[in-house]
A = this chain, B = another copy of it.
Amino acid sequence: MRTFDKSNQLFERAMNVIPGGIPGHQSPTLLVFGQSPCFIERAEGPRFWDVDGNEYIDYMCAYGPMVIGYNEPKVEAAFRAQSQKTDTGNLPSERYVELAERLVEIIPIADWSIFGKNGSDVTSYALRVARAQTGRSKIIMAEGSYHGIGAWCISFDTGIMPGERADILTFEYNDTEGFKRLVEENKDDVAGVIITPFRHDAFHDSEMPAPGFHETIRKTCDDIGAIFIVDDVRAGFRMHMGGSLEQFGVRPDLICFSKALGNGHPISACVGRNALKDAASQVFFTGSFFTSAAPMAAALATLEEMEANDSIKIMYERGEMLKDGMLDQADTHQQEVSYTGPETLPFMTFKSEDGWERAKLFCQECYQRGVFFHPFHNWFISAAHTEEDIKKTLEVTDAAFKLVKEQMG
């Protein structure tokens, strides 16, 4: 029986000196609290070891940043080589130009790129560019979509003033008619629309875009002269190297990336079309670490490895293997589940009324057996997951499904 004593002790220490212990999306209180780890000791490839020495095959990938394996040798070598030269300085390094050029090369809509640290930095920037370009105020986003911790989009409103989100209009993801109505009512004021490539709110089944959904947004933006922004922070470089909407054949005006771009090193980027470049240059955008060179070297190496190895294809194959295996097992153990989202960012929920309780028990049993899933948040496949890893994982999930069946029917 695995225990989490050291994790729990450290979490108590954290509660003493940090509000909430571990605040935000990584809070262990959002896992199966007490039956899951709170702190990590080391990580390698698709695995991590918690501070109690428990090993896991990881399906959260740091909530997205890890895309070709923790401590990936080539990425780390590039990071270290650059950091021994210059990292955070008075001015950028040559890597800064190279990375912008690389993104322009591989992303069809990109004529330019700018860089930040957080996803929030670039989603908030994209709104400003849309407003600067159009001279309009309103932004349309899907209700419950997570676009970061900017006041305009933060999921919880503690400490936020109504004025800070006064110009944000919301509709339900995939409700094409609702979207059209919102546009009709605010036509002359809509600066832009921001959506994620698919619906991936926590505590909710993922939803792929409904037929015509992206196309309607594209056409509507063209019709009214608004800017189509894709928040690809979570899904970017896990669905398509050119931006996730390439998979659906629809092209936005601005795309925000972060997470996977540096395989764990802190960087974010907003790329856009030439028509927006002047407006983009008029929006003040800066930060102490925005031009740091080493994460850019890491991003260049990550992109190179992903292209050389066709990492997206590998992730889809592994994701499909996991999906097929788990759906078979659910069937065998008579569990009704929803397995949703792209194969590379899957999510599984139980359909019964005690869905979250089942999900928690399922995850708890997986933690005990060395596999790390999340009960409430979509998962992530990486290119470091081997077929062997998926096989081992499926042995664990089979045992977990069996136990859920035994205990909850």
Contacts and interface: CB of A to CB of B under 8 A. Distances in A.
Interface stretch (A204-212, A277-285, A352-360): A277-285
Nearest to A60: B90
A335 interface: no
A308 B253 CA distance: 52
A126 to B, nearest CB: 10
A51 B279 CA distance: 30
B19 A65 contact: no
A151 interface: yes
Nearest to A129: B159
A153 B76 CA distance: 36
A71 B84 contact: yes
Interface string A35-71: 0011111110000101100000010111111100011
Contacts of A289: 65, 117-118, 266
A89 B287 contact: no
Nearest to A291: B26
A287 B120 contact: yes
Interface residues of A, number: 112
A196 to B, nearest CB: 15
A61 B86 CA distance: 12
A101 interface: yes
B66 A24 contact: no
B113 A17 contact: yes
A389 interface: no
Interface string A367-399: 000001000000000000000000000000000
B117 A132 contact: no
A407 interface: no
A23 interface: yes
Residue from the set A18, A25, A42, A278 with the largest chain B CB neighbour count within 10 Å = A18
Contacts of A85: 41-43
Given A17-B100, A152-B164, 16 more contacts: A14-B96, A14-B100, A18-B96, A18-B113, A23-B284, A24-B286, A26-B92, A26-B291, A41-B94, A64-B288, A117-B117, A117-B118, A120-B121, A162-B163, A163-B167, A266-B288
23 contacts: A16-B112, A18-B97, A19-B112, A19-B114, A22-B96, A25-B286, A26-B92, A37-B91, A41-B94, A48-B89, A50-B91, A124-B151, A128-B159, A128-B160, A148-B287, A149-B286, A149-B287, A151-B152, A155-B284, A156-B283, A158-B283, A159-B283, A163-B166
